[in-house]
A and B are shown apart, each in its own frame.
Chain A
Amino acid sequence: MRQTRSVEVGTGLFVLLGMGALFFLTTQTTGGDDFSVDDTYRVEARFENIGSLRNRAPVAMSGVTIGRVTNVAFDPVTLEAVVEFVIDSQFNQIPDDSDASILTSGILGSQYIGLQAGGSDIYLEDGSEVMFTQSAIVLENLIGKFLVNAGSKDDD
């Protein structure tokens, strides 16, 4: 009886530890916990170039995460990238002329959407589209432009 009891306690502790480890891995190593609001509204924005923006990338305003990218698609007619993202419903007073730009956290960090407040009295709501957008800065293009400029200066 004593033997089985200690075996049962040991097994129970082992399984609890295992579940604790799984819980730790799913909550602490993934970003699922910093934005997990159910009550959201959906907004769309069109970009010329989204760089390496991907699903679940954060949407931030003044540096605070207020939403998350839910879908990245390509419009075959206008040849633009269509990014769908959700914003927490408690932030329902974002002017509809705000501009969305794709920024990078750190020099080599992951990309996110930064919203810059506009001045309109009409607010973004479910299904609306952000009109003013600024594409991701692609490092290669930037370097390319810089080299072309440097080259043309030499010719002068």
Chain B
Amino acid sequence: MTRLIRDIYDSGIEFVRTFGAFQLFFMQLLRHTPTMLVRRFDLVVKQVFNTGALSLVIIMVSGLFVGGVLGLQGYSNLARFNAEDSVGVFAAFGLVKELGPVITALLFAGRAGTSLASEIGLMKATDQLSAMEMMAVNPVPRVLVPRFLGGVIAMPFLAAVFSMIGLFGTHLVAVELLSVDVGAFWQQMQMTVDLEDINEGIFKSLVFGVAASLIAVWEGYNAIPTAEGVGRATTRTVVITAIAVLVFDFMITALML
């Protein structure tokens, strides 16, 4: 009995310790951010390419189909109230405020987060990070910060591309396929959507970008340096990012309403 209590106590302490270490790790990344932005911007650019530009295909294809589904669902439901012209408003709100940032973050975790975590984990497993330390190069600014920043910079752009392509998808389905009036589609959207709504989407995608990149970099850096450990770190990256993004999404939405 006392052992059970002790175990629970230990795992509780361990959880708090991990959480604290995670915060300190975040602070450490932030501390090195300004110098890396100024001195080694080329490394950051390379990571924006790796995480952002290389994720474009999956983001754009997904966006097109998500937008198309919104068009179909929105049309069939709004048609019951004779309000099928509002399908543009429906899709724009859904994409810009929720689906754009959230689905982009989930896809980002799957496409870029996993590659970040496994890359860093493998660097650790093959002693590349220790080799850097031997050469008096701190791996945190040299390896981790550019990858973190690349993700943070790429996310808002990816989310914006997702929303834009999504709206084209909705337009394609609603206007071209289901013959909603093109004028009503765009005008009702413009009448209803505010700049605030766009800002909410951008803010969300920024927060999700920080969360997704931070979790990927953290998991990779703290991976057990074996083949199995790297694999586990990759899995944990996707799982934790998905949970974090959805929880943050709920909190931000509740705060902004």
Interface residues of A (CB under 8 A from B): 4, 7-8, 10-11, 13-15, 17-22, 24-26, 28-34, 56, 105, 108-110
A interface footprint on B94-117 (CB within 8 Å = 1, 0 otherwise): 001000000000000000000000
User: CB within 8 Å of A: which of B163-198?
Assistant: 163-165, 167, 186, 188-195, 197-198
**Chain B residues whose C-beta falls within 8 Å of the C-beta of A8 in the assembled complex:** 45, 49
Residue in A10, A20, A30 whose beta carbon sits within 8 Å of that of B190 in the complex = A30
Interchain residue pairs A-B with the least CB separation, the first 6: A18-B157, A14-B53, A21-B160, A21-B164, A31-B190, A11-B49
CB of A31 to closest CB in B, whole Å: 4
Q: Check if B198 sits within 8 Å of A18, measured CB to CB.
A: no
Q: Check if B157 sits within 8 Å of A17, measured CB to CB.
A: yes
| Interface of chain A, main secondary structure | helix
**Chain A residues whose C-beta falls within 8 Å of the C-beta of B161 in the assembled complex:** 17-18, 21
Q: A7-B45, A25-B96, A29-B198 are in contact. Are A14 and B190 (CB under 8 A)?
A: no
Bound: A54/B29 CA distance, A: 44
Residue in A14, A30, A32, A56 whose beta carbon sits within 8 Å of that of B56 in the complex = A14
CB of B180 to closest CB in A, whole Å: 14
Q: Which B-chain residue is minimally distant from A18 (CB atoms)? A: B157
Q: A24-B164, A30-B190, A110-B191 are in contact. Are A4 and B52 (CB under 8 A)?
A: no
**Chain A residues whose C-beta falls within 8 Å of the C-beta of B46 in the assembled complex:** 4, 7, 11
Q: What would be 19 A-B contacts, judged by CB atoms less than 8 Å apart?
A: A4-B42, A7-B45, A10-B53, A13-B53, A14-B52, A15-B52, A17-B56, A17-B157, A18-B156, A21-B157, A21-B164, A25-B160, A25-B198, A29-B189, A30-B190, A31-B190, A31-B191, A34-B190, A109-B188
Is B215 close to A, CB under 8 A?
no
CB of A136 to closest CB in B, whole Å: 17
Is B158 close to A, CB under 8 A?
yes
**Chain A residues whose C-beta falls within 8 Å of the C-beta of B193 in the assembled complex:** 29-31
User: CB within 8 Å of A: which of B132-178?
Assistant: 154, 156-158, 160-161, 163-165, 167
Q: Check if B158 sits within 8 Å of A29, measured CB to CB.
A: no
**Chain B residues whose C-beta falls within 8 Å of the C-beta of A10 in the assembled complex:** 49, 53
Is B70 close to A, CB under 8 A?
no
Q: Check if B45 sits within 8 Å of A30, measured CB to CB.
A: no
Is B30 close to A, CB under 8 A?
no
Is B48 close to A, CB under 8 A?
yes
Q: Check if B156 sits within 8 Å of A28, measured CB to CB.
A: no
Is B83 close to A, CB under 8 A?
yes
Bound: A133/B83 CA distance, A: 30
Bound: A91/B71 CA distance, A: 40
Q: Which of A17, A29, A109 has the most CB of B within 10 A?
A: A29
Q: Check if B195 sits within 8 Å of A18, measured CB to CB.
A: no
Bound: A14/B53 CA distance, A: 5
Bound: A10/B158 CA distance, A: 14
Q: Which B-chain residue is minimally distant from A56 (CB atoms)? A: B194
Is B211 close to A, CB under 8 A?
no
Q: Check if A28 sits within 8 Å of B186, measured CB to CB.
A: yes
Bound: A56/B42 CA distance, A: 44
Is B238 close to A, CB under 8 A?
no
